[in-house]
Structure 1
Amino acid sequence: MKVSVIDLGFNSVKMVNYDVRKDGSYLAYQQEGVKVKLGEGLTKAGYLKGEPVERTIEALKLFRDVIGFDSIRHVLPVATSAVRDAVNKADFLRLVRDQTGFQFKVLTGQEEAFYSYVGALESTCVPTSLFFDLGGGSLEMVYTENYSIKKVRSYPLGALRLSQRYSENGVFSKKAYGKMEDHILDVLPEKKELGMSIDTTLVGVGGTLRAIARYEQELSDYELDKIHNYRLDYPSVSAIARELYRMDADELAEAKAIGSNRVDTIVAGSTIISLLMQKLGFDKIVVSARGLREGILSAFLRDAKTFYSGSISSERAKAHVTFACQVEPLSQYAFSLVRPLVSSGLMREKERVILSHALKQMSDLPSVTNLSNLFHLIIDEDNAFLTHREQLILALAIVHTKKEKTVDWLFARYRSILEPQNMRSIEKISACIVLSTILERSKAMARLSISGKKVGIRILQGKQPVPAMLVADALRNFERAFNVAVSCQVNNAPKGQPASVRVIA
């Protein structure tokens, strides 16, 4: 099934076309965006003006043709702050419907916050968070504790809105910039107003935040081409905001991470994010590459009737996120191997978590013989639970099960992200992947006895014969990875196979 989501904002209109799989997962296969500046002049008169409206309708006609040519039956058009705040909203919506056929759903500030939260948190899975979505016309914020929504706020602090108010085409005088900073700090909430827990994580979405993340990655020669789940610290965000303010329009346009399309909004947008972190006391921020459009799609896929006829509630938003963020447990066969390793301290809990995700991801991978292609297939998948470093460990552990030498040069390539001790984790997880796969296919349980550097493994015969020689080979890698001596016995082995497998380090 193909679904198209159209997001009409204050600064731009975007269309993303998704291929939805039978299991409900989806993949964006086409993205188009046009900088129509629909909200241009809105703050002064309260009316959507003629030229921005014409630009918007022309862009929507293009989207209509793309959607029709691709035979997409399900189209979800939503509009946010520019249309929401306009005095002539009804006239505009009627004109759009008559000329393009699109019937837009205008989101309230709260609905916009909820949908953005669902899209971002389904793909980051942070239970207690302050989430924000910075757009061209407004700033939405959602505070949650254990996925329960406690506070929802919407502020008129959009990047384009403030740029139009305080700058000349994105260029700020010192006096105007100072006034904008004072205004932002005055509008942003106090920390006590939100009543945040001390373990709250800041999660953000929006083009400005992604641009800041890319800019930092360029400055630091970050080796992983990935924005989602990237972490930025406050000193870096603050320094980048100040640096962007000092740059002129040509310098901003030449910056690859910024580009000409964001020249007139990046200074205001980066200042909003920097001051938000400063005022609310956050030293780090998690970047989400998913937000409003993914939240709209997710809500539609879960309950199309409610999406069309009603609005999203805090309870429904929580249900969407908690369902998506359920951790898939290890199979009973893998669990029988891994639990004693964690209990004894031979394997760390985080290594167990990475192993669990690796086994799940392996089951969804296509057959690939080129290991470099395999690595990139794995690392390109967004993981809601793992940092970039942990995702690299996962990908390298899977590749390690195929060929150790390939891991050596890949590890060297990403050495600025990885730590030397991560190689041991890769080896441990790889060894457990191989043994867990054997147990899973044989439907066999493992019983471990661990004493210091000695590990005894008894494999209880399952529905399928346990391949003793494969077990022996896997255990040799297990010994090296965990630095232990292993003895193994396969109970009730079929006739013709040894009942006991002995491995000597």
Structure 2
Amino acid sequence: MLLERIGLIDIGSNTIRLVIFEIDEHFTMFQVQNIKTPARLFQYLDKKKKMSQAGIDVLIKVLKSFKSVADQYQVSVLMPVATAAIRQSTNRDDIIKQVRKATKIEMMLLPEEMEAFYGNYAVLHTTQFLNGVTIDIGGGSTEVTYYENKELQQYHSFPFGVVTLKQMFFDGKEHNDPKAIKKMQEFVKDQFKSIKWLSKKQVPIVAMGGSARSIANVHQRKIDYRLAGVHGYRMYKNDLQMTLDLFQSLSIPQLQNLDGLSRDRTDLIIPANVVFNTLFDEVKAPVFLFSNKGLREGIVMEFLNDKYENKAFSVYNIAAQSVSRLAASYHTLAHVAQQRVKLVDMLYEELCRLGIFDKNPEMEKLLHFGSYLYYLGQFVETGASSQHTFYIISNSDLDGISHKERVSIALLASFKNRSLFNQYLTGFTDWYTVTLIDQLQSFGGIIKFADALNDSHMEVIRDIKIIKIKNGYDLVLSYKGDILAEEYRAERQRKHIERLLSGKLNIIFTEC
């Protein structure tokens, strides 16, 4: 059910972008339209920060076009948000007046503290780190925040972005001029050092924005990364240096043909990479993480939380919300998924009691999510449910879940047999130990057996006990109702539990 259709126009210093979100009853944000133009409004500001009429005309032309698209989609809310280029213009009142008269659009001029707030808001609600530093580098400004225990503690807006850095250090020079790069590095380093709360925080850095996505995209292609999407993608100091060295070694025509790099960012990507490297050193960060959710998503998420009494997005239940929304997107029946999780929990508890597994909260989380999403790919095609399930989960942006966890959940939710499991694992074997691979395979078998115990979707199994006997084990299943379907499926899938117990399993159904 469609809850909202929201349009947001992000009027940045480098690009102007229209994004249209459809929000369903689960508060899943479906991006149904995303168009942009590299207007580069910042180049229309003179030395006194006054925007020329030519720049205003460009802005009006783009807004007219985007408004017609938004009208075609019949958005319930249109949010035109202006950031650094308009904010820093000395004639911003005249710009707003001309835009209003020509387009009937009332631009929301975002103060720098709110620009930092919304980017941070998106990160807090979509990533798993309790503490961190965020950075959102635009064309004319760079917003940096520090959060602790999921609460914003500090923010600062630097009056430079990728466009202004290019103007300051590369005017009349090559995009990769070594002396210009060195001067820019020194400038950015001094800027970061002036903010004392940034120094040696030793927390993860989360980067947002188009420049960050471009760097992550390029790195993924260079290492033949198997997963889709940059949300949650991790890089380290040597990775950031690798991309910077690559960008510096290429001419503009070569950069324009570089896989993963947007053509309109070829002359701006080196300043962005330098800013990220410098911040990494200043913070002494353990990891550099990319977020696909930033300013735009933060504005919409805060709007929805405000309108629906904070029911839309949580900062502490991120992963579970994300898994639930993915399941709903593929028409998974919630009561069936919940019963499967309940049965898996009962089996797991019994196996832990018998010493087959040691309790592990992190592994239990994967087990729960894999159980809930089991065979969601059957919505696409029943005959290839396993294959579709693995592909969908492993290539979906799951908020609050790392890429390794994503693959682990995909392996569990798609489990059909050991040969397919090993086929899916190809390309990811260096992520796992042999012990962990064996445990994931065992968990997959538990999920498949649990699914058999609710074959009728009537929730007839009420309790599970495993009892050690002389020649093996009795699996006692207490039930209420008709168990014809469950009896048949359980017998066919008993091998998955027998492998774990290394003994013969007798399945005994006992009526409650």
**Pairwise TM-score range, normalised by the shorter structure:** 0.7 to 0.9
Change (3 A) 1:88 1:75: same
Partner of residue 31 from structure 2, selected from 14, 28, 46: 28
Q: Which amino acid aligns with 1:428?
A: S
User: TM-score normalized by structure 2?
Assistant: 0.84
Question: SS of 2:315's equivalent?
Answer: helix
> Are residues 1:175 and 2:184 paired?
no
Q: Which residue of 1 aligns with 2:294?
A: 291
Instruction: Provide the C-alpha distance between the structure 2 equivalents of 1:450 and 1:276, rounded to a whole number of angstroms.
Output: 58
Maintained 8 Å contact 1:458/1:490: yes
Rate the CA distance shift 1:447–1:102 in 2: closer, same or farther, 3 A.
farther
Residue among 213, 219, 226 paired with 1:223: 226
1:21-420 superposed matches below 5 A: 21-42=24-45, 44-168=47-171, 171-189=175-193, 193-194=197-198, 200-304=203-307, 320-322=314-316, 324=318, 332-339=342-349, 341=351, 344=355, 346=357, 348-362=360-374, 366=379, 368-369=381-382, 370-371=384-385, 372-401=387-416, 404-415=418-429
Amino acid at match of 2:394: I
Tell me whether 372-381 or 286-295 shows the greater mean CA deviation: 372-381
| Cα distance in 2, alignment partners of residues 146 and 450 from structure 1 | 46
Name the amino acid aligned to 2:49: G
Q: CA deviation at 1:245?
A: 2.5
Aligned residues of 1:393 and 1:422 also touching (Cα < 8 A): no
Tell me if structure 2 keeps the 8 A contact 1:18–1:29. Answer: yes
SS at 1:444 equivalent:
strand
Match of 1:473 in 2: 492
Measured after TM superposition, the shift of residue 14 of structure 1 is 0.9
Distance 2:215 2:482 in 1: 53
Say whether the 8 Å CA contact 2:480–2:511 is kept in structure 1: no
- Give the C-alpha shift of residue 373 in structure 1: 3.2
In the alignment, residue 182 of structure 1 is paired with which amino acid?
A: E
Q: CA RMSD in A?
A: 3.2
| Alpha-carbon separation, structure 2, partners of 1:340 and 1:52 | 69
Aligned equivalents of 2:299 and 2:306: distance in 1? 11
CA displacement 1:37-60 (0-9 Å, x = unmatched): 011253732122333332222222
Task: Tell me which moved more, 164-173 or 246-255.
Answer: 164-173
User: Does structure 2 conserve the Cα–Cα contact (< 8 Å) formed by 1:8 and 1:79?
Assistant: yes
* Partner-residue secondary structure (3-state), 2:205: strand
**Partner letter of residue 434 of structure 1?**
K
Q: CA deviation at 1:36?
A: 0.4
2:446 — aligned with what? 432
- After the TM superposition, which of the residue ranges 330-339 and 66-75 deviates more from structure 2? 330-339
1:374 partner amino acid: T
Instruction: Please list the CA deviations of residues 275-327 of structure 1 after superposition, one character each: whole Å capped at 9, or x if unmatched.
Output: 11012111421111111111111112222499xxxxxxxxx999853464667
Q: What is the percent sequence identity of the aligned residues?
A: 20
Q: Distance in 1 between matches of 2:468 and 2:186?
A: 62
Q: C-alpha deviations, 1:457-488, integer Å up to 9, x for none?
A: 443335664823423333311333x4643645
**Contact 2:452 2:490 survives alignment (8 Å):** yes
Change (3 A) 1:118 1:459: farther
Distance 1:67 1:408, change over 3 A: same
Contact 2:477-2:510 within 8 A present in 1 as well: no
Matched, 1:485 2:503: yes
1:273 offset after TM fit, Å?
0.3
Indicate how the Cα distance of structure 1 residues 317 and 41 shifts in structure 2: closer, same or farther if over 3 A, else same: farther
User: How many residues align structurally?
Assistant: 481
Q: Secondary structure at the match of 1:303?
A: helix
Return 467-476 or 87-96, whichever deviates more.
467-476
Deviations 1:14-35 (A, max 9, x none): 1111121112112112210110
Equivalent residue letter for 1:446: I
Does residue 1:442 correspond to 2:442, yes or no? no
Separation in structure 1 between the aligned mates of residue 201 and residue 190 of structure 2, nearest angstrom = 23
**Residues 149 and 62 of structure 1: CA distance in aligned 2, closer, same or farther (over 3 Å):** same
The letter of the residue matching 2:404 is: R
Change (3 A) 1:43 1:415: farther
> Is the 1:2–1:19 contact (alpha carbons within 8 Å) kept by the matching residues of 2?
yes
